[in-house]
Structure 1
Amino acid sequence: MKDTKQTSKLISYWLRHHPEDGNLNIDDFGWASIDELIQSLATKGQTFTHAEIVELSKSFDKVRWEFSGDGSKIRATHGHSIEVILDEKAVKPPALLYHGSSSNKIDAIKENGLLAMQRQFVHLSTDREVAVSVGKRHGKPLLIEIDAAALAADGWVFYQASENVWLTTNIPVKYLKIEQK
């Protein structure tokens, strides 16, 4: 029986953080060959077809991977710690976006703003409830409202990784409204 949960975590790990662990060659835009991915999974005892990888990607609560137009390549849509160019996805953000964190991070956020930390980008949501649920993963939630319109006007570039996930670089405190839940 296939362990799809563990396989999806492994694929995301390779595509976001360590493609070399899966012997994947990732281009500057984060794309990897699906054939290479299937071969790498086989070395871990997981046999998947191209169609099964596509089906697995549809089983998530949010879009985590995307496929090239010709269907031969795959990449993670967000969460990268490796350098990936997403310029072709730069778009104007909605006026307000949200970020969830835990309340024990409030002092650091008030001092430094939102930082990408080990990731390439700060992850934002269009949905307040989603941001709160992200914050709950790490303790008492902290909801941060981001003035994305002002950020964009001041030169920040935004990327829409999926319907509800937006990415940008570090955000200074002056663009944040912090609300403890």
Structure 2
Amino acid sequence: MQDTKQTSKLISFWLRHHPEDGNLQLDDFGWALVDELMQSLATKGQVFTYAEIVELSKSFDKVRWEFSEDGSKIRATHGHSIEVILDEKAVRPPALLYHGTSSNKIDAIKENGLLAMQRQFVHLSTESEVAISVGKRHGKPLLIEIDAAALAADGWVFYRTSENVWLTADIPVKYLKIEQK
């Protein structure tokens, strides 16, 4: 039996950070051919059918990959450290969004705001509970409420990549309300 958790991490790594490690060619929008992905997995001894890749993509707690309308391409929905164009996903955000991180980051955030760091965008959630659970992965959680309405009014572009994942550029401190949990 194949280790699907390791396979999903490998696919995400290739689609988000290093497509060249999987011999994948991404277009400007981050799309790779599913056939090429399956061939790359096979060279690692991981043979998957198309249906199994689709099923694996549905096994996550949130959408991490998406397929093109015709099903021939796949891409990561968020978390990129490589530059991809997500303009077709730009939408007006809800008034408030949330970000969860570790409480040991509070001083840096109060000084610099929320920064994308090694990613292309800052990741946000519509639900405070989800943001807190993300923060718990890194230690004692820190919940940050973002005034998304004010950011949008001031020109920030937001991308909705799944039901609960929103992306935007670095966020200055003045748009943040910080709460330790």
Scaled by the length of structure 2, what TM-score is found? 0.99
Question: Separation in 2 of the partners of 1:6 and 1:138?
Answer: 20
1:50-100 deviation digits (Å, cap 9, x = unpaired): 111001101111100000000000000000000000000000000000000
1:106-146 deviation digits (Å, cap 9, x = unpaired): 00000000000000000000000110111111111100000
Say whether 1:163 aligns with 2:159.
no
Show the counterpart of 1:129.
129
Show the counterpart of 2:57.
57
Question: Separation in 2 of the partners of 1:159 and 1:7?
Answer: 27
1:30 is matched by which residue type in structure 2? G
After the TM superposition, list the runs of 4 or more consecutive aligned residues in structure 1 that deviate by more than 4 angstroms: none
For these two proteins, the number of residue pairs brought into alignment is 181
Aligned runs of 1:16-55 on 2, under 5 Å? 16-55=16-55
Scaled by the length of structure 1, what TM-score is found? 0.99
Say whether 1:6 aligns with 2:25.
no
Q: CA deviation at 1:3?
A: 1.2
1:70 counterpart SS class: coil
**Seq. identity, %:** 90
Show the counterpart of 2:87.
87
1:66 counterpart SS class: strand
Question: Separation in 1 of the partners of 2:57 and 2:139?
Answer: 29
Root-mean-square deviation over aligned CA pairs = 0.4
Show the counterpart of 1:76.
76
Structure 1 regions of 5+ residues with no counterpart? none
1:4-50 deviation digits (Å, cap 9, x = unpaired): 11101100000000000000000000000000000000000000011
Question: Separation in 2 of the partners of 1:54 and 1:124?
Answer: 25
